[in-house]
Structure 1
């Protein structure tokens, strides 16, 4: 069980880096904080779609995988939307302490989401067939 959770965590964190930094072109970034632009939806979708195969290691029920990935889509979208709206109302230059605190809060919220996913995996590994 410990290796299962550790492996899942490593894959989720690697996925997070790829989706949040590598696979995020300017048009996606520009679409955050605006419900009418596709960027934020695509970004959250990348996260959700990339999470699904990671969960296959621990959970075999596709309904649970879909539910968890859908939950991540919604939560990731909301975290990024709130950060974008705040940044539009109160811009924080990248070289300021406030920027890095807000960035850290954003990343902490995402990683707490992964902690919740790990709790579901731990529960599901014993209960879900």
Structure 2
């Protein structure tokens, strides 16, 4: 099955560091309000996941969610969680680390899209 969200080795390393420091964590792909369109990392108690959020998958064993409205724009893409040098989002756990999570994307191929089309229809129902 095609993964709808993946992570680079650098992102997986930072995820592991945050898990050691904080324990259980989660991601939510921001819709652009406060931290642009960043993937923010939270403690599970810091953000309520509701009916307008979709779980895309997991990266490094950590759940990754996106708002349903933003997902509608990005449903044809695989999200790739990466890390860049700089300050993370003001709400994201990596904010003080000197690194920031950064979302990259690529369009699914026709073959990949065919594999996930039923799941996408379910997500948007």
The TM-score with structure 2 as length reference comes to 0.28
Which one has a bigger Cα radius of gyration?
A: 1
- Larger relative helix fraction: 1
